[in-house]
Chains A and B, each alone.
Chain A
Amino acid sequence: AQSVAQPEDQVNVAEGNPLTVKCTYSVSGNPYLFWYVQYPNRGLQFLLKYITGDNLVKGSYGFEAEFNKSQTSFHLKKPSALVSDSALYFCAGARGNAGNMLTFGGGTRLMVKP
């Protein structure tokens, strides 16, 4: 069984401040982890993924995420938030050994205030 958890329903941050959106996972085998962003009435847009290698992954729009095996976490970060980053963020995981389905967390709404 595999699961992905996003412990915060909403994160509020002021524009220009750093942001973190948390994600923890429970995946058998080698975990493959993804972050997606969803804007209103639009589909999911891919931000970044961790497959193997460097624990710090850089993605689109200045976002990055850090894979931490000991804490089973894959938190999304950005050094300086923009108002336009306000959206719904989803963490997802895929099993390393078999299967192509993504298991998604419940989502975290990011609100960046001017």
Chain B
Amino acid sequence: GAGVSQTPSNKVTEKGKYVELRCDPISGHTALYWYRQSLGQGPEFLIYFQGTGAADDSGLPNDRFFAVRPEGSVSTLKIQRTERGDSAVYLCASSRDRGNTDTQYFGPGTRLTVL
């Protein structure tokens, strides 16, 4: 079946602009995660949804970052007033349910470049 999809694959924006990154999880997966991967590093957790609600947003770096999942499927990560330090690959993952033994399946990522 189809895996996790993310759009756009690449996004170039200017400092101070607003961006939205979209994630479409595997059908039927109730848990959805956002991670950020900076160059040469491992992914870092941002936020986790169980259904429509954010169950854990402890990884969001500041209040410029926000994510929604209004219908419990597609999620959008929103970044306001982008800064050059926000440049990274943003990864989305989904799993069947909330168990922390469940495998998280990752999408190809969105490469964000802030000029």
Contacts and interface: CB of A to CB of B under 8 A. Distances in A.
A73 B104 CA distance: 21
Interface string A45-60: 1100101000000000
Interface stretch (A13-21, A64-72, A74-82, A90-98): A90-98
Interface bracket on A:
20 to 34
Given A42-B108, A43-B107, A43-B108, A100 B42 contact: no
Interface stretch (B12-20, B43-51, B68-76, B78-86): B43-51
B45 A44 contact: no
Given A43-B91, A105-B42, A106-B41, A100 B98 contact: yes
B42 A106 contact: yes
Contact of A34 (B40, B55, B103): B103
B103 A100 contact: no
Contacts of A100: 31, 33, 48, 55-56, 95, 98-100
Interface of A: 4, 32, 34, 36, 41-46, 49, 51, 90, 92, 94-96, 98-107
